A and B are shown apart, each in its own frame.
Chain A
Amino acid sequence: MNMPRFWREIQGRYNLIGSRCGNCGDYFFPKRDICPKCHRKSIGKMDAVKLGGSGKIVSYTVVHDAHPEYSDMKPYVMAIIELDEGVRLTSQIVDCSPEEVRTGMRVRATFRKLAEDGKEGVIFYGYKFRPE
């Protein structure tokens, strides 16, 4: 993970700060400067909003061949989650075994360690999801 980039994205990663288009009312995550539907009409109307953090699993996959950072937790679940605001994002599902995960299952954001830059480097934190 790239530290300057992560640092710029802290509000999104920590607090699920997304955008809401003042023209059509749609929500976006991560933050956007322009609404892909309203284009020019949305300029200056994209408000930063804190998403509620509750939603449901739309689809998921069980990861067996894990990235070294996550190998301690394998097999683990990566899922596409639709938040109650209608926004979709991808996240690891924690605090439950792959057998317990279902499409449509209600989940809620939780604050976890995402990665660390070795034993001496910085630790990256942010959202993951767990059963509600």
Chain B
Amino acid sequence: MRAGIVSYGAYIPRYRIKPEEIGKVWGEDGVARGKGLGIISKSVPSPDEDVITIAVEAARNALKRADIDPQDIGAIYSGSESHPYAVKPTSTVVAEAIMAAPDLTAADYEFACKAGTAALQNVLGLVESDMIKYGIAIGADTSQGAPGDPLEYSASAGGAAFLVGKEKVIARINGIYSYTTDTPDFWRREGQPYPSHGGRFTGEPAYFRHVMTAARKMMEKMGVGPEDYTHVVLHQPNGKFPRRAAKKLGFTDEQVETGLLTPRIGNTYSGAVPLGLSAVLDISKPGDRILAVSFGSGAGSDAFDIAVTDEMENFNRNAAPLISEMVENEVFIDYATYVKYRGKIRRKGD
């Protein structure tokens, strides 16, 4: 494929909450809960942040690192399960806010936590077929668990954007593979504020089956094995699942470490693999090979075999904040502030 990643940018809100702070309120051992999930803190959006603001900041950061005219962007697709509007695409605001409007196509994608990688596949297709010169794919979420639900320990906020083109490609896409089944492991009915999930049983038939099958078939398709990759980025609903899946697939801890952000920022849903991949690109050198596999409940996985090119030497990654800088730039809040910020307090008129 000649279409590849020309630039990328990310955004992680600054506020954090710790599991012990959440556990305290619900009469649970938050420290133990956090340990069980492999999470020491999760990101929380400010009351004036949502998927649209996160998507805009990520897309702007991607453009800061690229020397292109935004008017050459022919498509913007944003994947999320927490778009602020049920009807009115996030991507329309992004297009206007990066001055790419009006000569382009824009749409939003939904597929639980893999909506961002679905967007990336579609933008790659449009660029590869020369229907557009450049396209932007975004994965972002500000997901919520119901108060007291185990998801509350992990559901967080963040996102990343990828600028796709054929010129000055810093990360080439060697191949793509997707695996999709009808598995009701996690869902949210229209109009319901919080998602429902199938509890513990969802791990094996849902996350592990889809992620591991997609990873194996991707490697089979390319004729390579785990040892051929510098980094592996797997969907990370918690800090434990991706480590366990990677180990079963034959990857080492070192291959997993850079792209694993959930322990510090929580599960950013559609933002998870895009952010993990951004963290890897932040430190990548020409010749590095990356396997990225997303997972979306419902269920499906998208795998990407990615090669970092020589163009990475000329890439100005310091023109926008690095993932490590955004992860470190944290302010901790208590549970009361958290529920206020997340709009979980019922007020007069609600």
Contact = CB atoms under 8 A, between A and B. Distances in A.
B53 A125 contact: yes
B118 interface: no
B49 to A, nearest CB: 7
Given A72-B340, A72-B341, A95-B14, A113 B49 contact: yes
Contact of A50 (B46, B50, B53, B99): B99
B57 A111 contact: yes
Interface in B53-103: 53, 56-57, 60, 84-85, 93, 96-97, 99
A11 B101 CA distance: 11
Interface string A10-22: 1100110000000
A66 to B, nearest CB: 11
Interface residues of B, number: 20
Contact of A111 (B60, B99, B350): B60
Contact of B57 (A72, A73, A110): A110
A123 interface: yes
Which of B46, B48, B56, B99 has the most C-beta atoms of chain A within 10 angstroms of its own C-beta? B48
A125 B340 contact: no
Contacts of A105: none
Interface in B3-30: 14
B53 A15 contact: no
Contacts of B85: 123
Given A111-B53, A113-B53, A125 B97 contact: yes
Interface residues of A, number: 18
Interface in B103-126: none
A50 B60 CA distance: 14
B47 interface: yes
Contact of A112 (B49, B84, B96, B350): B49
B52 interface: yes
B325 to A, nearest CB: 13
A67 interface: no
A14 B53 contact: no
Interface string A115-132: 000010001010010000
Contacts of A94: 46, 48
16 contacts: A10-B96, A11-B96, A15-B97, A73-B46, A73-B48, A95-B14, A95-B46, A110-B57, A111-B56, A111-B60, A112-B48, A113-B47, A113-B53, A123-B85, A125-B93, A125-B97
Interface of A: 10-11, 14-15, 50, 72-73, 94-95, 110-114, 119, 123, 125, 128
Interface of B: 14, 46-50, 52-53, 56-57, 60, 84-85, 93, 96-97, 99, 340-341, 350
Q: Which 3 A-B pairs have the closest CB atoms?
A: A72-B47, A112-B48, A111-B56
